[in-house]
């Protein structure tokens, strides 16, 4: 980033953010794109592709992430800018990865982790959560088609420039939106097998029941989410080469040292025993000689010997 020099690199939050920017650029994802503003790296613009095999497939959904000053020890806030029928626009949304639930956030998570989780939350049951919507599938599919036409208008010219850049790149790799004609057959299939509509939610949030009533689903959606997000964070951590060797290195080094130590211990014991025995004999000789000297027998002993 050209503006990286404007910020205090010794600040832990700035250092972490710049590290994530570098990681994003070196390992881009086909499912999302995110960039911080040049003037404020704590504010990110992003776009995600709608999850496959859902009414959001093919859609491009823009949003804004605001990182706190003590990131990554506190969670960011999220705001969607593109109408989707799942989240309200230009309003902070309530997710277990957002600032509404700091008790669930883990410092090992990152912007990448949060965006992967956000995509997984798209097809889940909103359950009346703050900032959530529950549109019909055909309405969401129509919004997915419309989301590809033009990027949303938001904020300053700098923000808009970043939004336009992200939209252009995401549009080049976005799959086409499935035709609306398939919605009727999908709904009929869901009526005969209601549990299949929640398969993506189960995969995304580990056991969230999307076919149940909305009155009890609000708490259900909050509890399993940290588990699924932890798995995402672990997968990202495994991909970082500087983390795994630090843990595995000492284990490899210490394993062959144990037999060496056990073999050398008897040798040291024998040497110490012999040294102690020799020292004991020397002390005894000095004591005997002094005894004879005190009793006037030293000359007699020396004459004899």
What are the residues whose beta carbons fall under 8 Å from the beta carbon of 111, sequence distance 6 or more? 20, 24, 34, 44, 46, 65, 67, 76
Longest Cα separation, the chain: 126
* Structural domain includes residue 41: yes
pLDDT (tens digit per residue) in 231-254? 544 554 454 434 333 343 343 334
User: Is 37 contained in some domain?
Assistant: yes
Tokens representing residue 295 in the block = 């009793």
Tell me, yes or no, whether 216 lies in a domain.
Answer: no
Q: Is residue 221 part of a domain?
A: no
Classify residue 233: in a domain, yes or no.
Answer: no
Domain count, the chain: 1
Residue 293 confidence (pLDDT): 78
Q: What is the CA radius of gyration of the chain?
A: 34
Whether residue 106 is contained in a domain is answered as yes
Does 227 map to a domain?
A: no
Question: What domain range is 64 assigned to?
Answer: 11-171
Q: Do the Cβ atoms of 29 and 112 come closer than 8 Å?
A: yes
Q: What is the pLDDT of residues 147-191, one digit of tens each?
A: 999 999 998 999 999 999 999 999 998 888 887 544 444 444 444
How far is the C-alpha of 53 from the C-alpha of 198, rounded, in Å? 12
Residue 146 within any structural domain of the chain? yes
Question: What residues act catalytically?
Answer: 94
CATH of the domain at 58: 3.10.110.10
Q: Span 115-127, mean pLDDT?
A: 93
Q: Answer whether 0.75 is exceeded by the pTM.
A: no
- pLDDT 10s digits, 79-98: 999 999 999 999 999 988 99
Measured distance CA(262)–CA(270) in Å, rounded: 14
């Amino acid at each position: 980033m050209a503006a990286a020099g404007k910020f205090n690199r010794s600040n832990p939050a700035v250092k972490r953010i710049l590290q994530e920017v570098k990681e994003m650029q070196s390992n881009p994802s086909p499912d999302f794109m995110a960039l911080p503003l040049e003037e404020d790296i704590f504010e990110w613009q992003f776009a995600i592709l709608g999850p496959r095999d859902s009414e959001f497939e093919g859609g491009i959904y823009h949003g804004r992430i605001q990182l706190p000053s003590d990131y990554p020890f506190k969670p960011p806030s999220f705001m969607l800018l593109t109408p989707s029928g799942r989240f309200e626009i230009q309003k902070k949304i309530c997710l277990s990865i957002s600032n509404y639930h700091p008790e669930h956030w883990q410092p090992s998570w990152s912007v990448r982790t949060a965006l992967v989780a956000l995509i997984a939350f798209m097809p889940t049951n909103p359950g009346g959560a703050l900032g959530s919507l529950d549109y019909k599938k055909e309405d969401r599919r129509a919004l997915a088609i419309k989301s590809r036409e033009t990027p949303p208008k938001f904020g300053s010219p700098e923000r808009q420039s970043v939004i336009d850049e992200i939209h252009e790149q995401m549009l080049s790799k976005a799959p086409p939106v499935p035709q609306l004609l398939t919605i009727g057959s999908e709904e009929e299939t869901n009526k005969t097998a209601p549990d299949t509509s929640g398969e993506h939610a189960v995969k995304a949030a580990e056991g969230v029941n999307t076919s149940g009533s909305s009155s009890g689903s609000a708490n259900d959606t909050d509890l399993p989410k940290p588990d699924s997000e932890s798995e995402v964070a672990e997968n990202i951590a495994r991909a970082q080469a500087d983390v795994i060797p630090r843990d595995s290195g000492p284990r490899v080094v210490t394993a062959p040292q144990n037999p060496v130590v056990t073999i050398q211990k008897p040798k040291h014991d024998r040497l110490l025993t012999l040294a102690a025995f020799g020292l004991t004999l020397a002390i005894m000789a000095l004591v005997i000689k002094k005894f004879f000297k005190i009793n006037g027998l030293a000359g007699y002993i020396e004459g004899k010997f």
